[in-house]
Amino acid sequence: MLSHPTLPEAPVSASCHDDDHPHEECAVFGVWNAKDAAALTALGLHALQHRGQEAAGIVSYDGRFHSHRGLGLVGDVFNDPRVMATLKGNCAIGHNRYATTGATLLRNVQPLFAEFAFGGLGVAHNGNLTNSDSLRQELIRRGCLFQSTMDTEVFVHLIAISLYATVEDRLIDALKRVTGAYSLVVLSEDALMGVRDPMGVRPLVLGRLPGEDGKEGSWVLASETCGLDIIGAEFVRDVEAGELVIIDDNGIRSLRPFGETKPHFCVFEYIYFARPDSVLEGLPVYAVRKQIGKELAQESGVEADVVVPVPDSGVPSAMGYAEASGIPFELGIIRNHYVGRTFIEPTDHIRNLGVKMKHSTNRPALDGKRVILVDDSIVRGTTSRKIVDMVRAAGAKEVHMRISSPPTKHSCFYGIDTPERSHLLAAQHDLATMAELIGVDSLAFVSLDGLYRAMGDGRRERYCDACFTGNYPIPLVDHDREHGPGTA
Amino acid sequence: MLSHPTLPEAPVSASCHDDDHPHEECAVFGVWNAKDAAALTALGLHALQHRGQEAAGIVSYDGRFHSHRGLGLVGDVFNDPRVMATLKGNCAIGHNRYATTGATLLRNVQPLFAEFAFGGLGVAHNGNLTNSDSLRQELIRRGCLFQSTMDTEVFVHLIAISLYATVEDRLIDALKRVTGAYSLVVLSEDALMGVRDPMGVRPLVLGRLPGEDGKEGSWVLASETCGLDIIGAEFVRDVEAGELVIIDDNGIRSLRPFGETKPHFCVFEYIYFARPDSVLEGLPVYAVRKQIGKELAQESGVEADVVVPVPDSGVPSAMGYAEASGIPFELGIIRNHYVGRTFIEPTDHIRNLGVKMKHSTNRPALDGKRVILVDDSIVRGTTSRKIVDMVRAAGAKEVHMRISSPPTKHSCFYGIDTPERSHLLAAQHDLATMAELIGVDSLAFVSLDGLYRAMGDGRRERYCDACFTGNYPIPLVDHDREHGPGTA
Amino acid sequence: MLSHPTLPEAPVSASCHDDDHPHEECAVFGVWNAKDAAALTALGLHALQHRGQEAAGIVSYDGRFHSHRGLGLVGDVFNDPRVMATLKGNCAIGHNRYATTGATLLRNVQPLFAEFAFGGLGVAHNGNLTNSDSLRQELIRRGCLFQSTMDTEVFVHLIAISLYATVEDRLIDALKRVTGAYSLVVLSEDALMGVRDPMGVRPLVLGRLPGEDGKEGSWVLASETCGLDIIGAEFVRDVEAGELVIIDDNGIRSLRPFGETKPHFCVFEYIYFARPDSVLEGLPVYAVRKQIGKELAQESGVEADVVVPVPDSGVPSAMGYAEASGIPFELGIIRNHYVGRTFIEPTDHIRNLGVKMKHSTNRPALDGKRVILVDDSIVRGTTSRKIVDMVRAAGAKEVHMRISSPPTKHSCFYGIDTPERSHLLAAQHDLATMAELIGVDSLAFVSLDGLYRAMGDGRRERYCDACFTGNYPIPLVDHDREHGPGTA
Amino acid sequence: MLSHPTLPEAPVSASCHDDDHPHEECAVFGVWNAKDAAALTALGLHALQHRGQEAAGIVSYDGRFHSHRGLGLVGDVFNDPRVMATLKGNCAIGHNRYATTGATLLRNVQPLFAEFAFGGLGVAHNGNLTNSDSLRQELIRRGCLFQSTMDTEVFVHLIAISLYATVEDRLIDALKRVTGAYSLVVLSEDALMGVRDPMGVRPLVLGRLPGEDGKEGSWVLASETCGLDIIGAEFVRDVEAGELVIIDDNGIRSLRPFGETKPHFCVFEYIYFARPDSVLEGLPVYAVRKQIGKELAQESGVEADVVVPVPDSGVPSAMGYAEASGIPFELGIIRNHYVGRTFIEPTDHIRNLGVKMKHSTNRPALDGKRVILVDDSIVRGTTSRKIVDMVRAAGAKEVHMRISSPPTKHSCFYGIDTPERSHLLAAQHDLATMAELIGVDSLAFVSLDGLYRAMGDGRRERYCDACFTGNYPIPLVDHDREHGPGTA
């Protein structure tokens, strides 16, 4: 008799990161020519908090550079008016970090600030360079000094060693050396700059605050449009893939350091990362998610009594599923938003009680029902299993799981913290085994076709969907060098 | 010409309490005969965090009493394993506090612990005594020493001065002296006790954790069933209005110190305070809220394109409204759950930008639409106005506001932090003026009849709805003495 | 063969309390009619920091009472200007606490503030009531509620239950109920009061700050004159044994609630507790200490090369010894004043290295020398042993220890934290055994006669020297009740 | 008539740095092959705390590098056992920092750690490079990235860009590029290294801990011998001027990268910086200080009643003065060692009261006396003036100040924080004017000859006494370039 497949044991954790989602690593923000620039930056970072909760930092400039960085939420790092008062100036950049390694060290918090031949420079970065290890080793051999483990430091060294004279030329020189996915916001003494990698994998948007009393207005850069909305800035446009925008006292200029490039925007931003009220590359995130739910209903409909989202990310897709299927949408799972730090070290006793810090079931909405659970993705499968168990314990007669993304079979190398392939449930098991492992009566993922239909037809080639397809649009320089090509 | 009515200026605040809701003051929790009693209490308090976020405390007993209290969320106050390790014992009680006055002083944090003739006693209290000022003055005249400003201290002094011998008799003696709304959890050296006032205004439920290995199980008391669910405890029943349950090594006993009493459970718990997954007095909160939304749709239907909740509390009613009306339910407003402390002192400049820390609009779901906004209540009206403005700024063509409670015209004296009547919008203006002040095209509240229909027929006399009707079931001793009867 | 006597193992501790001295429990301070009263109080407490380092608190009054208390040094508890700004008013009292029990709980920090029939009252207390357990039990039986374990709370309850009308009469009523050693500073809405027990065991001095611009000056109360000096206040006089001074808008009055009393001031204040620059009961502390050193030299002279103090408390006596003996005074032991909290949990390895956080030897001043070590007292003997070992390791050929107090053979019940008799080295062993245990070539204590000679003749009956003689001038009510009379 | 000279207004400050001494900038420590290496380093830094109180850091190595740095005292930065537990390994280096600029930024805290071609490297530095600005500009032009403002970073970059292969060769290469005063402790993956500049201006000593159980012992490097003493390490020898010691698994080697060099040890270490129990370059600090006092008495004797030190640094010299003059030594000024942070923002009122946080007078020892005050140096003169005023206010009839160093007429560029010449009292005024400004009846400094006599004859050329003589043994590269040669 064959042994039964089992899930790796779920990490028993009560932290805010106990969920089993891929994690975005960062948000960036910048503002030029605005009163209270640092305060506006703090607000922008607050609106972008979902992209990184481990650390935050701001660099401002008023003839001199000022900076403050710390571990924690934006509201914790910048809650002292005396600190805000030191961040003087009419321009500023900021950064939220999601920690990829166990402990976020303070030396790894952005924006990175350094002194160059041409003056100071602050840099905030969202993404991941695929040739950073190679570059790092080369730079170290050359005598460059690395004081952190961040990709951003590689980039900043490339600016430092560039033989060009101006910040702008050095920045472009550096950009041409790096491979990978990145959206950068850069503050020099003369300009605020924003740049997206040639494929435009990570988002970056441009906005504008009207000036008061007939004065010149302000320019704003943010990872998502919700970072504009919070301060009342108007959305102007997405910074384009491969575009460098330079904002200075003469206005705004657009450069194309890489010439024409072919965009491949991260499709997972629509599925999970971005805030639902953001509009990225012309598509409203919320509408895409709802539409995916509709596609799911059409592709993998099942008879049931209620459609229940795994909150918060599964809500719009579940709404779409309910709308398309006619099955009532119910809040069968409640999320406790007060979860902060881990605060109870679980004993065996507590572990056996099946304590859930973050989710609880709304029993009357589940008891005796055939339940369609809608979630955005399955990574390791451990959280899914726990949630299914909860829902069954609340009396659900059947549990059918519907996932608003295709199976996640490949790791991301472009700025998202995913486990290695060997820990991706969908990379290791077929659908039937996955269903068994997760404990559901049926399991379905939206198809890749369905996903792209939800996003509007004919645009498929404009996206990066490597996590589903393994088609990596940007060379995995470091990975291939270490593991050999085609192993990702 | 008449001058135009205007709203009082909205408080410009970025804190987590900038919303314009009534505020619950407390949660209580207790556990008897359980391993890790303090950890279970911390978990229970975490699940009840929505009832009070300003301070938390736990008292445990293992032959000696142990206690820890602090300002902040449960997860902040109890995040040090070394602190948890000091809270030894198999029984514990806990408390979450919502601060009614500007600054929560540490000396006002519960549970209150004191030493009596019969030994130590910990007391945690949710509610408000309506004769506490009178009692306090009497007790002070008698020589009692008040070290805090909490009602709970009045109650504890009454126990201390009682001439009865046993804890139980003294507790009952004290209960007979106080008037008001209260749910108390009390831990003595011999027993865990729970009691609700004769009207049962505030909730308290009883649960049970099965014992391991054939051992005797544990008893649990909690403000709401969600406090049982998090630790896997079974709901046994509500503690009844006017009931005192005493749990000790001989099991559980039920006493009726006030004889038969007529329950008047707070109807606002269903509308706003309780967590949607709780079941109170036999009614699931979530189902009641949805049903109110349906009643609203029937009573005050209006042609529109979308039904949009003010999250999170407006969501179930909006779902019900949408279901009943057939108008699509959309998440047109997004809530940022990362809001913690106030962190930006708003300059005029930032104030003018209309910064909203907590809510943002999902423009694509609102732009060009006729919007039905569903919220749970209007207190001062200031937040409503801001949200309506946001929704219009996002392109809504029409805004119709529907409120899932009747107009709040009277202050609560039973444990809810509401402003004085003079600051209650509905106590000062008629519906048309209110609509004008809030800036909506139409405004409707669910009727009192509609509300009770939503809760199931024929039970109306079992509730306290004084905030809507002014029918106060419990005498307002202190208030009447100061302001004269009939002035509330 | 007889077994060798050994010392109890020295507690391996690196904290600032690793020394083996008796510990003072508190300092009190009060100021009336002064601008910046709370700031002056903080300064006074800072100058009195040597009397208690575990916690500090201030209560001020400006029509309302304000208070702030916390764990740590005065400079830590009051280092936030925003906190100081809340302590408004022209009068204030303050308190430093030395923790007698393992952990100082915040609820045990003074001044205690409570609300009475006549208004608020703040009380700060230095000393120990010898009938507090008896009173406490009686008060609890009466229905009084104890929220801390401090003697002060007993006293405050007695004020609360007094049948007299005025604060003053109630205070006197309470004073007559308590037995023990105490110096109290009390702040009511109308007056600042200071009182010493009938024996005047603990110190309390009265000072005066001149008024600015012809205005009425300020009155100051402090545990020692150094608390006056820091703010430039003039010393007026000691509050007398059994005196109650009442300072209000009509000036200062002196009452004698106990009639004529016989003073017994704590002789150990001169030996160790008080700061050397203080003048207590007319005697300068520094001069007394030097003179004791001279007496020691005359009583127990020994041939040696250097006189070395155990810093800081042994310095003046060592100077006196050197002066009288003609043997050079040398700083052979250096004290590290940066020691704050315990910061290294000592492994066996570190313990074996003999790490000393607080003292180090100045080898060139000791190597090859016959050393006379001068210290103020021996309690358990553990620290003495460590210091002797250090001095020998630094090359001392001989070590002769001279102690500037008679042998400490009895516990203090009047406000000093001493171990039980069974842990007092001098209560258990004769001089020869003590010398052997401590590892010295010779050991001598100043005689009781020598001590009193050093303090000026004929005043012996004015002091409490119970720790040396067992003659307790104040009845040990609680102790005798529990252990039987004559057992202390 | 000429206008009267006046002192610049004394900074009103209550911090621990309100005194008017030159300030040492750093302590370094390192240990190789020892259990609990990080704990030993913390202890060593604790003993060296007098050399820097603003920040502390440790880097350890156990196959990987570990590091922790923070603002505050060693006992504050390393008080969490969980932090200590992360600093694994048998070798470690550490650093205490005195902040030279207003706010110590966390990015300026040492040891600096960076990643090189050859692996990681931690560097801790005491001293000052006189060509760091020049080098910094050159390195920045070359493309080096500066993330702090510390000299140490210059040094580390020079290692990084060296074309040599081994750490050792690169270190030597870097050493040859820098000019200045420095003692460095360096930890690589293979070795612990210590180096002093060619003149050996700043101290560095070598010690040894015996191995347990026949195992190989440990090597220790420390700024002063008191850093060895605390952990029971034996003093082996001073690292020599211009010497590089390399400690690895093969033992210890000594290199002389600069060939033979002429030592010029900082004479001020003996006068003020070093701890009295340290022995530096063969001379015990304490004995030198006492001897200077004797020289002072012989050079500038004056009739008086008492010799009073300004504690703590003036104590040994005052003892020497008293011994030589036969005038009694008295503790006329008491120092409050509990002073931590500034905690009272002084209002005019408090300023006028003449509050002194750190020193108080022992009136009985001063009143009516002719006082010789002994201090170690006069920098700006502001603190001296305050102390003289205090002493007169305590009743001194005459005040004669004697200074145990020659007049400080020149700034230090070798690692000591002194004001510019224009703020040095002795650089601006003759002796008579200085006496008048400070308010003394007479003023005398020890002569340069007297100083050197006190240190033993014939060694004068072995010291740096530039602060007294202006003879700078190391070129002031940056200063001369900016201000012109001969302007220091």
Residue B81: how many other CB atoms lie within 10 Å: 11
Q: Is C238 left (phi over 0), alpha (psi -120 to 50) or beta?
A: beta
Question: Which C-chain residues 347-386 have CB contacts (< 8 A) with chain D?
Answer: 347, 349-350, 352-357, 360-365
Q: Is D186 left (phi over 0), alpha (psi -120 to 50) or beta?
A: beta
Q: Is D282 left (phi over 0), alpha (psi -120 to 50) or beta?
A: left
Cis peptide before D111 (omega within 30 of 0): yes
Distance between CA atoms of residues D280 and D205, nearest Å: 8
Q: Choose the most confident range, by mean pLDDT, from A140-144, D131-135, D347-351.
A: D131-135
Q: What mean pLDDT is predicted for residues C363-381?
A: 95
Q: What share of chain A is helix, strand, coil (3-state, %, to 5)?
A: 30, 25, 45
pLDDT digits (tens, 9 = 90+) for D415-467: 888 888 889 999 999 999 999 999 999 999 999 999 999 998 667 899 999 99
Q: What is the DSSP letter of C225?
A: T
Q: Is A90 on the interface with B (CB under 8 A)?
A: no
Average per-residue pLDDT in chain B? 89
- Nearest C-alpha neighbor of D381 from the set D19, D99, D15: D19
- Nearest C-alpha neighbor of C314 from the set C295, C294, C290: C290
- Residue B162 with chain C: CB contacts under 8 Å: 143
Distance between CA atoms of residues A391 and A397, nearest Å: 9
Record the tokens describing residue A443, joined without a space.
Answer: 């399991």
Q: Which residues of B140-157 are buried (b: 16+ CB within 10 A; e: fewer)?
A: beebbbbbbebbbbbbbb
Given B16, B26, B91, B144, which residue is catalytic? B26
Q: What share of chain B is helix, strand, coil (3-state, %, to 5)?
A: 30, 25, 45
The contacts of residue D71 (CB under 8 Å, 6+ apart) are: D54, D55, D77, D104, D106, D109
pLDDT at A157: 94
Distance between CA atoms of residues C82 and C59, nearest Å: 15
Q: Where does residue B468 rank: exposed (0-12), middle (13-18), buried (19+ CB within 10 A)?
A: buried
Q: What mean pLDDT is predicted for residues C394-401?
A: 97
Neighboring chains of A (3 or more beta-carbon pairs < 8 A): B, D
Please report which confidence band the pLDDT of residue B486 belongs to, taking 50, 70 and 90 as the band edges: confident
Residue C214 has pLDDT above 80, yes or no: no
Residue for token pair 């009163």: A35
Distance between CA atoms of residues D183 and D203, nearest Å: 7
Please state, in angstroms and as integers, the Cα–Cα distance from residue C92 to each residue in B371, D95, D296, following that order. 59, 43, 48
Distance between CA atoms of residues C181 and C472, nearest Å: 11
Distance between CA atoms of residues C329 and D339, nearest Å: 28
D266 is in an annotated binding site: yes
- Residue D117 with chain A: CB contacts under 8 Å: 140-141, 143
Distance between CA atoms of residues D34 and D60, nearest Å: 11
- Tell me whether residues C319 and D338 touch, CB distance under 8 A: no
Distance between CA atoms of residues A108 and A115, nearest Å: 17
Distance between CA atoms of residues C468 and C448, nearest Å: 8
pLDDT at B301: 94
Q: What mean pLDDT is predicted for residues A259-266?
A: 94
Residue A339 backbone dihedrals phi, psi, to 5 degrees: -60, 120
Annotate B3-27 with DSSP letters as a single string.
PPP-PPPPP---STT-S---EE-EE
Radius of gyration for chain C, computed over Cα atoms and rounded to the nearest angstrom: 23
Q: Picking from B483-487, C319-323, D99-103, which range would have the lowest pLDDT averaged per residue?
A: D99-103
pLDDT cut 90: percent of chain A above it: 71
pLDDT cut 70: percent of chain B above it: 91
Residue C259: how many other CB atoms lie within 10 Å: 7
Please report which confidence band the pLDDT of residue C11 belongs to, taking 50, 70 and 90 as the band edges: very low
Q: What is the pTM of this model?
A: 0.84
- Tell me whether residues B75 and A339 touch, CB distance under 8 A: yes
pLDDT digits (tens, 9 = 90+) for A358-393: 899 999 999 999 999 999 999 999 889 999 999 999
Chains A and C touch (3+ CB pairs under 8 A): no
Annotate D204-234 with DSSP letters as a single string.
-EEEEEPPSTT---EEEEESSTHHHHTTTPE
Q: Which residues of A381-401 are buried (b: 16+ CB within 10 A; e: fewer)?
A: bbbbbbbbebbbebebebbbb
Residue D326: how many other CB atoms lie within 10 Å: 9
Question: Which A-chain residues 203-242 have CB contacts (< 8 A) with chain B?
Answer: 209, 212, 226, 229-232
Of B292 and A19, more confident: B292
Q: What mean pLDDT is predicted for residues A307-323?
A: 95
- Torsion over CA: B341, B343, B346, B352 (sign): negative
By residue count, chain D amounts to 488
Q: What is the DSSP letter of B462?
A: G
Residue for token pair 């056996």: A352
Q: Is B160 on the interface with C (CB under 8 A)?
A: yes
Dihedral of the CA atoms D452, D455, D458, D459 (nearest 10)? Answer: -100
Parallel, antiparallel, or unpaired for β B55-61 and B234-238? unpaired
Residue A342: how many other CB atoms lie within 10 Å: 17
- Tell me whether residues D337 and C337 touch, CB distance under 8 A: yes
Q: Three-state DSSP class for C429?
A: coil
Q: Which residues of B218-253 are buried (b: 16+ CB within 10 A; e: fewer)?
A: bbbbbbbbbbbbbbbbebeebbbbbbbbbbbeeebe
Bridge partners for B207 per DSSP = B220, B235
pLDDT at D458: 61
pLDDT at C24: 57
Residue A212 has pLDDT above 60, yes or no: yes
D241 Cα to chain A: minimum distance (Å): 28
Please report which confidence band the pLDDT of residue D191 belongs to, taking 50, 70 and 90 as the band edges: very high
Cis peptide before B203 (omega within 30 of 0): no
Record the tokens describing residue B161, joined without a space.
Answer: 């001065």
- Nearest C-alpha neighbor of C444 from the set C394, C392, C399: C399
pLDDT at A293: 98
Q: Picking from A128-132, B149-153, C92-96, C439-443, which range would have the lowest pLDDT averaged per residue?
A: B149-153
Residue for token pair 């001038």: C473
Record the tokens describing residue C306, joined without a space.
Answer: 């250097």
Q: Where does residue B26 rank: exposed (0-12), middle (13-18), buried (19+ CB within 10 A)?
A: buried
pLDDT digits (tens, 9 = 90+) for A66-93: 988 888 889 888 877 778 888 999 999 9
Annotate D288-320 with DSSP letters as a single string.
HHHHHHHHHHHHS----SEEEE-TTTTHHHHHH
Q: For chain B, which domains are there?
A: 26-264 (3.60.20.10), 286-456 (3.40.50.2020)
Record the tokens describing residue B159, joined without a space.
Answer: 């126990």
Q: Is A336 on the interface with B (CB under 8 A)?
A: yes
Distance between CA atoms of residues A29 and A192, nearest Å: 11
Distance between CA atoms of residues D91 and D76, nearest Å: 22
Q: What mean pLDDT is predicted for residues A430-438?
A: 97
Dihedral of the CA atoms B98, B102, B104, B110 (nearest 10)? Answer: -40
Distance between CA atoms of residues D328 and D309, nearest Å: 11
Residue B2 has pLDDT above 50, yes or no: no
Q: Is B157 on the interface with C (CB under 8 A)?
A: yes
Q: Is D345 on the interface with C (CB under 8 A)?
A: yes
- Residue B312 with chain A: CB contacts under 8 Å: 337
Residue C5 has pLDDT above 60, yes or no: no
Of C336 and D333, more confident: D333
Distance between CA atoms of residues D40 and A267, nearest Å: 53
Q: Which residues of C350-386 are buried (b: 16+ CB within 10 A; e: fewer)?
A: beebebbbbbbbbbbbbeebbbbbbbbbbbbbbbbbb
B348 is in an annotated binding site: no
Please say whether the beta carbons of A473 and A264 come within 8 A.
yes
Residues of D annotated catalytic, as ranges: 26
Q: Picking from A1-10, A413-422, C8-17, C332-341, which range would have the lowest pLDDT averaged per residue?
A: C8-17
Please say whether the beta carbons of C301 and C319 come within 8 A.
no
Q: What mean pLDDT is predicted for residues D70-79?
A: 85
- Residue B133 with chain C: CB contacts under 8 Å: none
Q: Is B63 left (phi over 0), alpha (psi -120 to 50) or beta?
A: left
Q: Picking from A37-41, A465-469, C198-202, C358-362, which range would have the lowest pLDDT averaged per residue?
A: C358-362
End-to-end CA separation in angstroms for chain A: 34
Q: What mean pLDDT is predicted for residues C19-40?
A: 85
Of A31 and C147, more confident: A31
- Residue D146 with chain A: CB contacts under 8 Å: 114-115
- Helix C167-177 with C151-161: angle, nearest 10 deg: 130
Of D334, D349, D350, nearest to C275 by CB-CB distance is D334
Parallel, antiparallel, or unpaired for β C442-445 and B359-361? unpaired
